[in-house]
Structures are given as C-alpha cells and as structure tokens.
C-alpha cells in the first residue's frame, strides 16, 4: 500500500491516581522520559512529537496541547495534538504512525496525558457542553445518563442481565491487581457491583471506571531504526478510525457500528480476515463494563450479543482462549481518558514481547489489538499489532 512499516520500541507511564500532586506537564514528562529511557534514546534523536489529551474543560486550560508541549518533549520540534474524546489514547499511536508511515519521520515520541482532578466538584460536570447546546443541554444531561441509555438498549436487545455485565468489572478489577500503575484494583464479587450505589439505572458505581490523573508514552520508529534498537519490535500492522453521527439518539444504540467500521479498516490493512482466530489478545475500551462487551462485538471478536456468554464461560480471562483486558483495563487500572487508551496499547506491546510479567497471557501471543471509543459515543479507534 506504500506505507513504511512502523514499530513500537519503547513505553512509559505514570501510576494512575484520583488526584496527582504533579501537574499535567510533569506527568507528561515522567511518562515520556521513561519511554525514551526504555529504548535508550534521547530527546535530541526524536524527529517529532504527537500528544493526545482530552477536553480542555477538565483542566480549565485553553490550548492544552501547547501548555503540555514542554513536558511532552516537543521543544522546537514538529508537534501536533490530537483529541477525539475517549478515543484519543488509541488515536495517539495512529497519529504517530502517520508521521513514520509517510516517510516524514524516523523516530516519533507519542505522549498521552489526562488530569481530570482539576475540574470541581467533579469532572463529569465538564461534559455538559458535549451535548447539543440547544436541543439537549437545556435538559441538563450527564454523560452517565446516555451510557445508561445505551446499556439498557443493549441489555434489552440481547436479553442480558446486569449480572452478566457485572462479570466484566469483576474480571478487570482483579486483573489490575497485577498492574503496577493500578488505581482501583481489587477482588470484588458480582454482588458488590449490584449492591454499589445506583447512579443511573442500569449503571451502578462499580460498573464505571474512576476519574483519574495519569500519563503514558510510547516511542514509534521506522523499520530501519527498529532493527538497530531492538530484537523485539512490535509492529503496528493496521490502523483504523471512524466517526458516527452526532445525532446519537438516532443511532442503533445496541451495536457500535463506528467500531466495526474502524476495525474493518485496521483489519484490511493488517490482513486480518478472521479476527476471533487471528487476534490473540485484545484491549477494548472499558470505561463501563458493558462497553467491553459492546466493543468485542463491534470488533467482530464474537457474534453480536454473545460477548457476555464468552465472559461467563471464562473465555476472556487471562488464561482463556481470548484474553480481554489482561491489564485490568479502565475499570481496574483507572481511566485518565487519553492515557488509558495508550496504556492499552502499551499492554499489548508488552504482551506481544512476553514482557507482561504476572499479567502475561499464555501461548506466546503474536497478534493483538487495542481499541478506544469516544466523543459523543460515536468515535472508534483501533490498532492491530504484531510481534
């Protein structure tokens, strides 16, 4: 297709915490520096920098990309910020990929940062302005409401219960116990989820990931540089992204068509024809437990409406046939929006290198996928990676 091959060779991240003492700039620096150190590169070798970060409204800082630039290592370099809501963190490697695939750069530092804690009393309040200002905002909606609406429609369409879905939260929070950056790792039961505070039925407190502060970074390089730097490069073999209509109430809420469109684009590029067989490990975006299931279906990892059954059967556990969110996901590691997506990319990078430690899935996986979702429930971002 005329693209140059692109490899991930280094990664770094901070802990994910509810409120970090560090500024967003400092968090960005911590993740970026670790990523460079991990592949023994220095900033002067980096050709350009891309940065992902979600709404400026979290920070109350307009032009957040410019504010964070120094921490991301962008000083006097070509630099671009990308933002597609919750989909941002998996758009990050795609944005970096363009720079190398096109031949413009050989070494790109990709940073994703989020500091949600600055927004008071709760960062949820910042989301009021994502709704249409004339036809929706006067009803004073909250983002949890519309996820609850989507979850209810999904449950109704496929006859799923809250118990079926709570299993995802139980699995991911448990997986996160083995993740050194995790914010809300714990062993809980389905009953704990069902008995947690009902925020917007059918969504309870433990169906949702937390608000978090954190940053993550990766180093992307061209094939020539990759061969020189490491004997364990992980290749970005497919990228896909797609946006659906902003008239969200007119969409089929039971199925994420925008994820399928993004996945088909990435699969075509990577030569994936049977995703459920060819993808060995996946990190779909799980800000809510039902979203992991919804996204598995949109990614065509299983037939529509069947993801809950696979979860109940243990297929999506780390030692199952199709490990899903072995990191612990947004539900367990935490959800600093943009950084979460890149954390998922890092997890697949580590899994495919055999470097995931206690989180390592068995069977020497060689092909994995990360996916995120965002904007007004309408954006899908997907990367397919191979060792």
Partner 1 sequence: MKLEDYELRGTALRSSDIKKGKVLSTSWEPDLKYAWDNGVAIGRYLAELKAGQIIGRACHKCRRIMIPPRMFCELCFRPTDEWIPLEDTGTVNTFSIVHVNWDASRRKKGEPPLIPAVIEIDGASKGMGIMHMLSEVDPKDVKIGMKVKAVWKSEEEREGAITDILYFKPARAKAGKRRKQ
Q: Which residues bind partner 1 (CB under 8 A)?
A: 10-22, 27, 30, 34, 38-39, 60, 120-122, 124-125, 128, 132-136, 138-142, 144-146, 148-150, 152-153, 156, 179-181, 197-203, 213-215, 245, 247, 249-253, 350, 353, 355-358
Question: Which CB sits closer to partner 1, 124 or 276?
Answer: 124
- Closest approach of Cβ 31 to partner 1, in Å? 8
Question: What minimum distance in Å lies between the beta carbon of 376 and partner 1?
Answer: 11
Smallest gap, in angstroms, from Cβ of residue 315 to partner 1?
26
**Torsion of the alpha carbons at 335, 356, 354 and 216, rounded to the nearest 10:** 40
**Nearer CB in complex with partner 1: 103/201:** 201
By beta-carbon proximity to partner 1, the closer residue of 98 and 145 is 145
| Nearer CB in complex with partner 1: 85/214 | 214
Q: How far is the CB of 60 from partner 1 (least distance, A)?
A: 6
Shortest Cβ 374–partner 1 spacing (Å): 19
Closest CA to 91 of 223, 242, 233, 222: 242
Alpha helices (H) in 54-87, listed in sequence order: 56-59, 64-68
Phi-psi region of 159 (alpha: psi -120 to 50; beta: other; left: phi over 0): left
Other C-beta atoms within 10 Å of 368: how many?
Answer: 27
What values do phi and psi take at 258, rounded to 5? -65, -30
- CB 112, CB 13: distance < 8 Å: no
Nearest distance in Å: CB 121, partner 1: 7
Q: Which helix (H) or strand (E) holds 264?
A: helix 257-270
Query: What's the rounded Cα separation, in Å, for the pair 84 and 200?
Result: 25
**Smaller CB distance to partner 1: residue 308 or 346?**
346
322 within 8 A of 387, measured Cβ to Cβ: no
Task: Quote the least distance from Cβ 194 to partner 1, whole Å.
Answer: 15
- Report whether 275 contacts 299 (CB < 8 A): yes
Contact call for residues 232 and 353 (beta carbons, < 8 A): yes
Based on CB atoms, which residue is closest to partner 1, 142 or 366? Answer: 142
38 or 276: whose CB is closer to partner 1? 38
Residue 84 is given by DSSP the state B
Please, what is the minimum distance in Å from the beta carbon of residue 193 to partner 1? Answer: 16
Question: 219 vs 272, which CB is nearer to partner 1?
Answer: 219
Minimal distance, residue 153 CB to partner 1, in Å: 4
Distance in Å, CB of 201 to partner 1, minimum: 4
Task: Using the minimum distance from each CB to partner 1, give the nearer residue, 6 or 356.
Answer: 356
Which secondary structure element, helix H or strand E, spans residue 307, and what is its range? helix 307-312
CA distance to 18, 61, 62, 64, 316, per residue, from 57 (Å):
17, 7, 8, 9, 35
CA distance 338 to 87: 7
| Residues 29/32/34/37 CA torsion (nearest 10 deg) | -120
Cβ distance to partner 1 smaller for residue 238 or 365 = 365
Distance CA 385, CA 373 (A): 18
Q: Which residue has the tokens 């470097």?
A: 355
């Amino acid at each position: 297709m005329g693209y140059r091959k692109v490899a991930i060779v280094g990664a770094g991240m901070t802990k994910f915490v509810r409120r970090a003492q560090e500024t967003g700039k400092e968090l960005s620096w911590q993740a970026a520096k670790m990523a460079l150190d991990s592949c023994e590169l220095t900033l002067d070798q980096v050709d350009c920098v891309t940065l992902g970060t979600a709404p400026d409204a979290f920070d109350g800082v307009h032009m957040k990309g410019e504010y964070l630039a120094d921490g991301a290592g962008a000083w006097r370099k070509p630099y671009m910020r990308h933002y597609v809501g919750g989909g941002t963190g998996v758009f990050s490697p795609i944005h970096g990929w363009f720079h190398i695939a096109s031949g413009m750069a050989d070494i790109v530092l990709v940073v994703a940062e989020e500091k949600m804690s600055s927004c008071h009393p709760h960062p949820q309040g910042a989301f009021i302005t994502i709704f249409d200002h004339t036809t929706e905002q006067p009803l004073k909606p909250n983002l949890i409401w519309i996820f609850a609406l989507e979850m209810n429609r999904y449950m109704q369409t496929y006859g799923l219960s809250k118990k079926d879905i709570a299993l995802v939260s139980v699995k991911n929070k448990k997986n996160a116990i083995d993740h050194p950056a995790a914010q809300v790792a714990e062993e809980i039961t389905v009953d704990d989820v069902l008995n947690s505070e009902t925020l917007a039925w059918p969504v309870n407190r433990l169906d949702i990931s937390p608000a978090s502060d954190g940053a993550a970074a990766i180093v992307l390089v061209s094939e020539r540089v990759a061969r020189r730097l490491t004997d364990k490069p992980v290749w970005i073999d497919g990228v896909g992204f797609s946006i659906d209509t902003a008239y969200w109430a007119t969409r089929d809420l039971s199925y994420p068509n925008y994820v399928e469109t993004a996945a088909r684009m990435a699969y075509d590029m990577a030569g994936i024809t049977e995703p459920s067989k060819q993808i060995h490990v996946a990190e779909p975006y799980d800000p809510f437990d039902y979203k992991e299931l919804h996204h598995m279906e949109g990614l065509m990892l299983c037939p529509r409406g069947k993801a809950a059954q696979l979860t109940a059967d243990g297929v999506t556990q780390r030692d199952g046939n199709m490990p899903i969110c072995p990191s612990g996901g947004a539900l367990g590691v935490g959800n600093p929006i943009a950084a979460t997506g890149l954390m998922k990319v890092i997890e697949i990078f580590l899994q495919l290198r055999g470097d995931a430690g206690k989180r390592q899935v068995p069977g020497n996986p060689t092909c994995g996928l990360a996916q995120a979702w965002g904007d007004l429930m309408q954006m899908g971002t997907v990367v397919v990676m191979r060792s």
